[in-house]
Chain A
Amino acid sequence: MAATVTAPPAAEGVSRGRPEWLERAVGQALALLLALVIALVLGSVIIVLYGESPIDVYRAILEAATTAKDGPAWVLAAATPLIFSALAVSICFKGGLFNIGVEGQYLVAMVTAAWAALHLDGILPGPLLMWGVLVFGMLGGIAYAAVPGVLKVKTGAHEVVTTIMMNGIAVSLVAWALNGPLKYTNAPAGENVDLRTDIFPSNARVPELGHLLGFGPAPHLSWLFPMAVVAAVIVWFIVKRMRLGYEARAVGASAGSAQAGGISIGSVQVKLFLLSGALAGLVGMQQILSNNASSTGGGYLPQNYEATLGFTGIAVAFLGQNNPIGIVFAAIFWAALSRGESILPIETEMPREFVIILQGILIMSVVITYTLARRRLDRRQTGRVIAEEEAVHEPEPPPTIQEVTA
């Protein structure tokens, strides 16, 4: 997805008198609205075919996320890893790269973070341990993202295929760690424990946030959520205000022109991959340092960890239109829809998988409407620039080509 190039300051006396950025924002909002309408309409068709009422189904999903007990806390807790994941995907998109490997990067990061939580206990006192664990998670993600990044730059191996393969390797790496170096040692005697690491010291845990907002402890809403929002702001700052962000957007928009402009494409792409890996490293922290934490323990990494957050991050990045702040809202919206999954079989006759289909339709229509809207806006801008320069040529009529049928 090509990066949206920052709007140049609107020229004085533009034909319609509307600033260009406003026109762009309105156009993008309309595209999002259209995609939502398409998804809701197609979703309604499926619901009706199932013999249910669309209004009931949509209301059930909405209520699960909002008015139900601790609904918003569940949604924000579920949105937390999605924000990190989508940010990781989007930072690569900015440079025209597809990091499909966030999945593998966060799996490996959970292993390195778990190692740190179990081995740095005495070294990092008090709350420092938690920060150390987070840093080790990021380092794990960085190291694992470096491989496809370097391969891309040095050999040209397409990152989509290499990162997918790295995901497969990561699954085996986690299995190896849980069967070998990180296998639990402290299982209660005679009890059959599912394969997992030892329980982390309690100061590795990310503190709860939910009770400060009046929610119960069940959803495990933690300080990782505000951290994810801060991460989004940092990514926004990097992309919009820093040299790397500028270079990334240049490479993403047109690699050839960027190179001609003196930007080293390879160096930018490797940096983006490393940054992406750092963000990916935080995706798994919500589950191992908060969801799995109890009142006494600081969490653990189990064999049946929650997977596919990296892939969902791609969808959220598309929905958030690759914009860091948009991603925060997109992740919350996505998590709200997912929250409806559990309620559907209870409140209605719809299977819970309906939500996945709804999300799929939404993402498909969003991708199409965004691209069409952007193309339209670009064309209008080009037309305006041409008009401003008063470079008016008589456009040649397209040659009529006779169809030669086989």
Chain B
Amino acid sequence: MSKLGFAVSIAFTYFTIIYLTGIGGLFSERSGIVNIGLEGLMIIGTVTGSFGAYYFGAKLGWGVPAGPLMGLLLGLLCGAAFASIHALATVTFKIDHIVSGVVINLVAVGLARFLSTIFFGQATQSDPGQPHLHVISIPLLSKIPEFGLAFQGLSPVVLLPFLIVFPVWWVLYRTRWGLRLRSAGENPEATRSLGVAVAPLRWEGVLLSGAFAGLSGAFLSVEIVNNWREGQTLGLGFIALAALILSNWSPTRLLGAAFLFGFAQAIPLALRDWPIIRSIPPQFVNMTPYVVTIVVLAGFIGKVRPPAAAGRAYEGTTT
């Protein structure tokens, strides 16, 4: 049973990555901009986050928690800055959203290598000695026999999804800005006819997606791996996209969807020694997260409804 506890603790880690990235995608798609560049935005978050934690934490001697917090902040800001390319291409120049997203992903891989040579003097990984936040244990839950393992030794960032889920819901459904953002994604012409400019809303949606994906990437490299490594995002940006679809673009339902995909990630890592799983070649066990994603996507896609204008350029006047 403690194995399951371990699996749940890993699932929590991936849940956090998938949820934060998914919330980013949610803001972008709710505003009408499809963002398949989430993976690339995460990659920028991983490399800049790692640099922030190392530079401020170890090199400048700010230590914990200032170093890792600066890393997370840097990842967030650089993610948003990089997302501005996607916003420029899709909102301002009205380039096909998928094309721009693909290019974002392609460019991010190269840019990460380039930044890494500047930051660390090597292209594919960061310097060691990067500090991370002190781990926490959840009171009460961590005392559960056997299963409590799932709630011990966690990065405090793991709490973030539970802290932001209500504010995000409130902003989207109870504020004027949220209503306008959603209307830009459902019917930009109607939005405009009511005198609300569509382009700034969509810019904001895309920049938020970059901020969340960048933060999520920084969380991965700063808090989980404690190192930047090329390719460490492992397609999680795309898995977040699948979780977003499964959640029907809802911040609350995204909690469950992200946990499902997070748990799929944990199976090859934590349950490898289970008798049933040990009889399967390990390479096939490693496929689990991808297979789960495909199955879920194929099974649910017709049953959810994306924002009506997502992926469609708003051809109105420039503002």
Contact = CB atoms under 8 A, between A and B. Distances in A.
Q: Is this pair of chains taken from one and the same complex?
A: yes
A166 B290 contact: yes
Contact of A168 (B102, B234, B317): B234
A356 B195 contact: no
B294 A172 contact: no
A353 to B, nearest CB: 4
A398 interface: yes
B304 to A, nearest CB: 10
A385 to B, nearest CB: 19
Nearest to B102: A314
Contact of B85 (A315, A364, A371, A398): A364
Contact of B114 (A1, A175, A354, A363): A354
A315 B106 contact: yes
A165 B107 contact: no
A330 to B, nearest CB: 14
Interface stretch (A132-140, A151-159, A270-278, A387-395): A151-159
B196 A371 contact: no
A397 interface: no
B235 interface: yes
Interface string A354-369: 1011011101100110
Given A169-B290, A351-B117, A401-B195, A160 B36 contact: yes
A404 interface: yes
Contacts of B299: 155
Contacts, number: 142
A375 B94 CA distance: 10
A353 B117 contact: yes
A157 B298 contact: yes
B3 interface: no
Contacts of A295: none
Given A156-B302, A175-B283, A179-B283, A169 B291 contact: yes
B293 A1 contact: no
B269 interface: no
Given A160-B36, A172-B284, A356 B113 contact: yes
Contact of A164 (B176, B193, B196, B235): B235
B201 to A, nearest CB: 11
B195 A165 contact: no
A155 B298 contact: yes
Interface in B253-304: 281, 283-284, 286-287, 289-291, 293-294, 297-299, 301-302
Interface in A342-359: 351-354, 356-357, 359
A21 interface: no
B138 interface: no
B123 A353 contact: yes
B171 interface: no
A195 interface: no
Size category, A interface? 35 or more
B239 to A, nearest CB: 8
Nearest to A167: B235
Contact of A161 (B105, B196, B241, B291): B241
Nearest to B306: A158
Nearest to A147: B294
A176 interface: yes
A173 interface: yes
A174 B249 CA distance: 35
Contact of B281 (A157, A180, A351, A352): A180
Interface in B172-228: 176-177, 192-197
Contacts of B89: 364, 367-368
A98 interface: yes
A300 interface: no
B110 interface: yes
Contact of A360 (B106, B286, B287): B106
Nearest to B110: A356
A318 B103 contact: yes
Given A372-B93, A406-B176, A357 B110 contact: yes
Nearest to B291: A169
B88 to A, nearest CB: 8
Interface string A137-152: 0000000000000010
Contacts of A172: 283-284, 286-287
Interface string B5-47: 0000000000000000000000000000000100000000000
Contacts of A164: 235, 238
Most buried by B among A2, A165, A351, A353: A165
16 contacts: A1-B96, A158-B301, A161-B36, A164-B238, A165-B291, A166-B294, A169-B290, A172-B283, A176-B283, A351-B123, A353-B116, A359-B110, A367-B95, A401-B193, A404-B194, A406-B176
What 7 A-B pairs come out closest when comparing CB atoms?
A356-B110, A176-B283, A360-B107, A404-B195, A165-B290, A155-B298, A168-B290
Given A161-B242, A165-B235, A311-B105, 18 more contacts: A160-B36, A160-B102, A160-B238, A164-B235, A165-B291, A351-B117, A351-B118, A354-B114, A356-B114, A360-B110, A363-B107, A367-B89, A367-B95, A368-B89, A368-B93, A372-B93, A404-B196, A406-B176
